[in-house]
A and B are shown apart, each in its own frame.
Chain A
Amino acid sequence: MSAAAVLLQLFACLGAGAVVLRGVELLDDLPVRERLPWAFAVGLGVLGWLVFPLALGGWATPPMLTVLETGLALGCILLKFEARGLATTLARSRPSGWGATLAAVAILVALFDLAEALAPPLDADSLAYHFARVRDIAATGRIAFVPLAVDGVGAFLVQMTYLPPFALGGEKALTLWVMASGWAGPLFLYAVARRWLTPLWSLALALILATTPAWTYGAGSGQVEARLALFAFAGLIAGAEARVRGDLRYAALAGLMAGFYAAGKFLGLFFVVAVGLVVILRRDFWRPALVFSAAALLAGFQWYLWNHVEAGDPVFPGLFPWLGVRDPNFWNADMDAFFRATMRAAEQPGKIPWLFAYPFAASIGLGFPIWEAGRTGLGPFALLAAPFILGGLWTFRARLSQSPLAGVALGVLFFYVLWFVVGAGQRIRHLLPLWPAALLCLAVVAERWSAMIGRDRILAAAVATALAMQVAGATLFALPSVRHALSDEDRSSFLARRLISHAVVPWINAHLTASDRLLTMERPLNYYLEKPYLYAMPNRLAYPDLRDSARDVRRQWTELRQSGITHVLLLPGLSVPSPDSAVWRLGRELVRAGCAEIAVSLPVRQFLSRTLAAHGARDVPADILKLRPDRCDPERLPR
Chain B
Amino acid sequence: MPPNRIRDYGLAGWIVAATALYLWQFRDLLGPILNAVGLNAVGLG
Contacts and interface: CB of A to CB of B under 8 A. Distances in A.
Nearest to A363: B22
Contacts, number: 63
B10 A387 contact: yes
Interface residues of A, number: 26
B22 A383 contact: yes
B36 A365 contact: no
Given A458-B11, A458-B15, A613 B36 contact: yes
A469 interface: yes
A384 B19 contact: yes
A384 B15 contact: yes
A73 to B, nearest CB: 42
Interface string A571-608: 00000000000000000000000000000000000000
A609 B18 contact: no
A380 interface: yes
Given A458-B11, A461-B12, A373 B25 contact: yes
Interface residues of B, number: 21
A615 B15 CA distance: 30
B15 A612 contact: no
B21 A479 contact: no
B23 interface: yes
- Give chain A's interface secondary structure class: helix
A462 B26 CA distance: 20
B33 A476 contact: yes
Interface in A369-394: 373-374, 380, 383-384, 386-388
Contact of A364 (B7, B15, B22): B22
Interface of B: 7-8, 10-12, 14-15, 18-19, 21-26, 29, 32-33, 35-37
Q: 3 smallest A-B Cβ distances: which pairs?
A: A365-B25, A615-B32, A612-B32
30 contacts: A364-B22, A364-B25, A365-B24, A365-B26, A373-B25, A374-B25, A380-B18, A383-B22, A384-B14, A384-B15, A384-B18, A384-B19, A386-B14, A387-B10, A387-B11, A453-B7, A455-B11, A458-B11, A465-B19, A469-B22, A476-B33, A476-B37, A609-B32, A611-B36, A612-B29, A613-B36, A614-B32, A614-B36, A615-B32, A615-B35
Interface of A: 363-365, 373-374, 380, 383-384, 386-388, 453, 455, 458, 461-462, 465, 469, 476, 479, 609, 611-615
Given A469-B22, A613-B36, A615-B32, 4 more contacts: A384-B18, A386-B14, A609-B32, A614-B36
